[in-house]
Structure 1
Amino acid sequence: MLRLVSLTKIKPSTYNPRKADPQRLDILELSIRKLGFLLPLFADKSGEILSGHQRHHVCERMGISQAPIKYTEPMSLADRKGLNIAFNRGTNDLDMADTPVNMTEALARANLQEAAAKLPDKKESDKDFFRCLYSKSVSVDRLVDANRGRWVNYARNMARMLYGKGVTMPLVCTPDDKVVNGIGRLQYAAEKKWPRIEVVYISYEEADLCHAMLNLLSMDFDIHNRYEDLLRFNSFRRARRTRTELGQGFIFAVAPALRSRHFDIHDPKSARLWKKTHGTAIVDFGAGHLTETEILRSIGVNVTPFEPYRLGENSEINKEESVAIARLFLDTISKGKRFTSIFISSVLNSVPFEEDRKKIVCLCAALCDEKTHLYAAASSVTGSTSLRMVQGVGGLAERQTTYATFALDYEEGITIGDFQEKPKVQKYHTPSEFYDLFKHYFKTVNVQDRNNNVRAVCKTLNRGAIMRDLRKAIEFEFDLPYPDGSRMGLVDEALRAYSKRLGVDL
Structure 2
Amino acid sequence: MKLLPINAINPSSYNPRVADPQRLNLIELSLRKLGFLLPLYADANGEILSGHQRHYVATRMGVEKVPVDFTKPLDLAERKAVNIAFNRGTNDLSPDDLPKTLTEALERSEVHELAEALPDLDIHSPDFYPCLTAEELPIQPLLSANTGRWVQYARNISKTLKGKGVVMPLVIDPDGKVINGIGRLQMLAESNAPTVKAVRISHAQAALADAMLNLLSMDFDIHNRYSDLLRYNSFRRSRRTRNELGRGFVFAVIGSKPSHTLDLSNPDHLKRWKAVHGSTVLDFGAGHLTETQILQQAGIDCNPFEPYHITKGEEIDKAASLEIVKSFLQGVRSGKRFSSIFISSVLNSVPFEGDRRHIVTLTAALADEKTRLFAVASSIQQTGWRNLNGAAPLNKSDASQITFMLDYEPGIGLGDISKLPKIQKYHTVPEFRELFLTQWQEVKVNIAVENVQAICRNPRPLDPVALKDAIAFEFDLPYPDGSSMGLVNKALEAYSTRLGVVL
Q: Same fold (TM over 0.5)?
A: yes
Would you say 1:152 and 2:164 are equivalent positions?
no
Higher mean Cα deviation, 159-168 or 315-324? Answer: 159-168
Match of residue 433, structure 1, among 431, 442, 452 = 431
Q: Distance in 2 between matches of 1:495 and 1:385?
A: 40
Q: Distance in 2 between matches of 1:189 and 1:205?
A: 27
1:239–1:315 Cα contact (<8 Å) kept:
yes
Q: Could you tell me which residue of structure 1 aligns to residue 86 of structure 2?
A: 87
Aligned ranges 1:91-490 → 2 under 5 Å: 91-382=90-381, 384-394=382-392, 396=394, 398-465=396-463, 467-490=464-487
1:440-468 Cα deviation digits (max 9, x unpaired):
11111111111111111111111233x23
Shift of 1:397: 5.6
Shift of 1:400: 4.3
Higher mean Cα deviation, 143-152 or 284-293? Answer: 143-152
1:413-463 Cα deviation digits (max 9, x unpaired):
011011123111111111111111111111111111111111111111112
Shift of 1:247: 0.8
Paired letter, 1:435: R
TM-score scaled to structure 1, two decimals? 0.97
- Secondary structure in 2 matching 1:378: strand
1:140-180 Cα deviation digits (max 9, x unpaired):
22321221111111111111121122222111111222111
2:375–2:453 Cα contact (<8 Å) kept:
yes
Would you say 1:75 and 2:74 are equivalent positions?
yes
Moved over 4 A (4+): 397-400
Q: Could you tell me which residue of structure 2 aligns to residue 40 of structure 1?
A: 39
Higher mean Cα deviation, 259-268 or 124-133? Answer: 259-268
Shift of 1:379: 1.0
- Secondary structure in 1 matching 2:41: strand
1:154–1:400 Cα contact (<8 Å) kept:
no
Q: Distance in 2 between matches of 1:395 and 1:415?
A: 16
Paired letter, 2:61: M
Paired letter, 2:155: R
Q: Distance in 2 between matches of 1:8 and 1:421?
A: 28
Q: Distance in 2 between matches of 1:266 and 1:79?
A: 44
1:41–1:68 Cα contact (<8 Å) kept:
yes
Gaps of 5+ in 1: none
1:164-216 Cα deviation digits (max 9, x unpaired):
22222111111222111000001011111112221111112211011111111
1:104-131 Cα deviation digits (max 9, x unpaired):
1111111212221222211132212112
Q: Distance in 1 between matches of 2:308 and 2:270?
A: 29
Shift of 1:488: 0.8
Q: Distance in 2 between matches of 1:126 and 1:488?
A: 55
- Secondary structure in 1 matching 2:497: helix
Paired letter, 1:26: N
- Secondary structure in 2 matching 1:350: coil
Shift of 1:503: 1.6
1:278–1:340 Cα contact (<8 Å) kept:
yes
1:309–1:319 Cα contact (<8 Å) kept:
yes
Paired letter, 1:51: S
Q: Distance in 2 between matches of 1:281 and 1:167?
A: 53
1:289–1:310 Cα contact (<8 Å) kept:
yes
Identical columns (%): 55
Q: Could you tell me which residue of structure 2 aligns to residue 3 of structure 1?
A: 2
Shift of 1:267: 2.5
Q: Distance in 1 between matches of 2:299 and 2:210?
A: 63
Q: Distance in 2 between matches of 1:400 and 1:457?
A: 31
TM-score scaled to structure 2, two decimals? 0.97
Paired letter, 1:27: L
- Secondary structure in 1 matching 2:27: helix
1:360-400 Cα deviation digits (max 9, x unpaired):
01111111122111111101112x21211222234646454
1:259–1:451 Cα contact (<8 Å) kept:
no
Q: Distance in 2 between matches of 1:295 and 1:252?
A: 16
2:393–2:399 Cα contact (<8 Å) kept:
no
Q: Distance in 2 between matches of 1:49 and 1:355?
A: 32
